[in-house]
Amino acid sequence: MKKLVILIAVLALIGLSAGLYLYFKPVKNLTEAKADYTLVTSAEADEIAQALLQNQAFYYGKIFEWTGRILEIALDEKGGGYLLLEIPDTKLLINAQLDFRVRNVNIQSGEVCTIRGEFTGLEEDLIDPDALIIYFKQSVVIQPTL
């Protein structure tokens, strides 16, 4: 009985320390991070989209840099928001949740910009089954290309 109590206490301590580590783990700063994949042309975007469809798990947590036209942008005054980016000549939409440190970005819908974000998943569009929506978190706007 005493061994069981000690075992449960050790497991609880391990669980608590793992939880605290994950809770206090620092957030990546994507403005300074190097992108794992930089995609500018529609051919590169189509190629990586096929690779993402084949093996999503391999790309989780990887940092991508995309250039495209802004369809929709919503910024929160406290920082953060989201950005919907269309890649020209493809059926790709990028849904990027902006990092909470992103404030006062001077871009509008219809402009071309480059974003950097961490891949979190993708899904096929319900309306257009050929289209893919790719999701990113902690995204930052690298360069408004006017």
C-alpha separations of 45 from 13, 39, 59, 92, 118 in Å = 46, 6, 14, 8, 16
Torsion of CA 68, 91, 57, 116, to 10 degrees: 0
Q: Stretch 35-44: mean pLDDT, rounded? A: 83
Backbone angles phi, psi at 78, to 5 degrees: -85, 0
Residue pLDDT, tens place only, 47-97: 888 888 888 889 888 898 888 888 888 877 777 788 888 888 787 888 888
**Statement: residue 19 has pLDDT above 90:** yes
Backbone angles phi, psi at 80, to 5 degrees: 95, -160
Assigned fold of 37-145? OB fold (Dihydrolipoamide Acetyltransferase, E2P) (2.40.50)
Q: Stretch 20-43: mean pLDDT, rounded? A: 82
Report the alpha-carbon distance of residue 131 to residue 122 in Å, rounded: 11
What is the structure's pLDDT at 146?
A: 40
Radius of gyration of the chain (CA): 19
Domain boundaries, the chain: 37-145
Strand pairing category for 81-86 and 112-124:
unpaired
Q: Stretch 103-124: mean pLDDT, rounded? A: 82
**Statement: residue 145 has pLDDT above 60:** no
Give, as one character, the DSSP assignment of residue 104.
Answer: -
